[in-house]
Structure 1
Amino acid sequence: MRQATLVDVEGIVEVHTQARTAYYIAGGLSADDLADPAQTQTQQRYDGWARALQSPDRVVKCATQDGKVVGILSMGRPNSPTIDARTVGQLYQIHVIPSHWGNGIGARLHTSFVDYLTDSFLPTGLLEVWERNTRAQSFYSKLGWKPDGERRPGPDGSDYVFLRLAAPAAR
């Protein structure tokens, strides 16, 4: 695991796209719902990850295997201005390429997020997950995340639910 750089953007987009496709299809969206014949979503993801890598408010890490990006983590300040950035760090995304699910990569990426909270003296982690992504919800639940009651609209009439994690005490 290492800090991601602009050189990693293509690999990051590939991991993001494959993981996203897998969990949305598992949640009931069709491949047609996710299709992007004009490749605009891919370009938007590429541009978004390039911005994230250059942002002073974001930390992006990648897990690699044999020189290939197989997992990604993005974290930083809360997206909402109503959330106190002095006490909360947001886990924006953890994605692992589906062919590598179940190999501990996601857990190692999560540990890196918890280290970020601890090192930044942030007592709380925040994330949102699509309510139909039961695999992710189970993963986060096992790691101590709890729903906080907040939601926002998501695709296909299903919400994103917000989860919180109490970080361990600072070292």
Structure 2
Amino acid sequence: MIRNATAADLDAVAALHAEARATYYRGHLPEEEYAGAEETARSRAGWAAAIERGAVLVAERDGAVAGIAAHRTAEGVADLTQLHVAPAHWRHGVGTALHTACADAWRAAGLRTARLEVFEHNARARAFYAARGWRPDPERPRSGDHLVLRLTLGTETE
């Protein structure tokens, strides 16, 4: 089930985010940059604000948070700011369900373009996005150690 996150989900959302980030940053960044106390507090505050804005979706499986997605719109473009699936739920359709829910919401809002940034060493995520039509952003292909990807949103009938 995909639903909007509530304040009651904050602990689970923050924990899933920390677990997911550790899987792709470990070995590439110093641990304090993705799991240190300061970064954990900053991340939690960001998730709390996003949940309050209504910008976070939760995928629930067996009553637990299995995946999360956060998005926003700026200048007529959707930004997928976060999409994480608990490793125990990888390859079970959770990420696809979250991605589809986001894309459907963007289309319903009349948006035709979405973008995201993905850590260049996160091969799993890069393959996931490529399979769903995301391509390098021709205007800005990189942002530091992240690749910038763009998705052209057609209508549901296209």
TM over 0.5: yes
Match for residue 161 of structure 1?
147
Q: What whole-Å deviation, never above 9, does each CA across 1:34-76 have from its counterpart, x for those lacking one?
A: 452xx22222221111111122xx5211011222111001011
In structure 2, the CA distance between the partners of 1:124 and 1:30, relative to structure 1 (3 Å rule), is same
Report what 1:138 is aligned to.
127
Rate the CA distance shift 1:48–1:35 in 2: closer, same or farther, 3 A: closer
- Give the counterpart of 1:152 among 111, 129, 143: 143
Which residue matches 1:51? 49
1:74 maps to 70
| 1:94 counterpart residue number | 83
Partner of 1:13: 14
Residue by residue, what CA displacement relative to the aligned partner does 1:70-120 show, whole Å, maximum 9, x if unpaired?
100101113xxxxxx22x111111000111111110000000111011101
Structure-2 change in CA distance of 1:8 and 1:135 (3 Å): same
Q: Which runs of 4+ in 1 moved over 4 A?
A: 30-35
- In 1: Cα distance, 2:35 partner to 2:79 partner: 29
1:104 corresponds to which residue? 93
TM-score scaled by structure 2?
0.89
Q: Give the secondary-structure state (helix, strand or coil) at the position aligned to 2:137.
A: strand
| Length, aligned pairs only | 154
Root-mean-square deviation over aligned CA pairs: 1.8
Closer, same or farther in 2 for the Cα pair 1:33/1:74, shift >3 Å?
A: closer
1:116 to 105, 120, 140: 105
Structure 2 alignment gaps of length 5 or more: none
Change (3 A) 1:6 1:168: same
Q: Is the 8 A contact 2:57 2:69 kept in 1?
A: yes
Other structure's SS at 1:77 match: strand
TM-score, length-scaled by structure 1: 0.83
Matched, 1:60 2:56: yes
Instruction: Assess if the C-alpha contact under 8 Å between 1:121 and 1:170 holds in 2.
Output: no
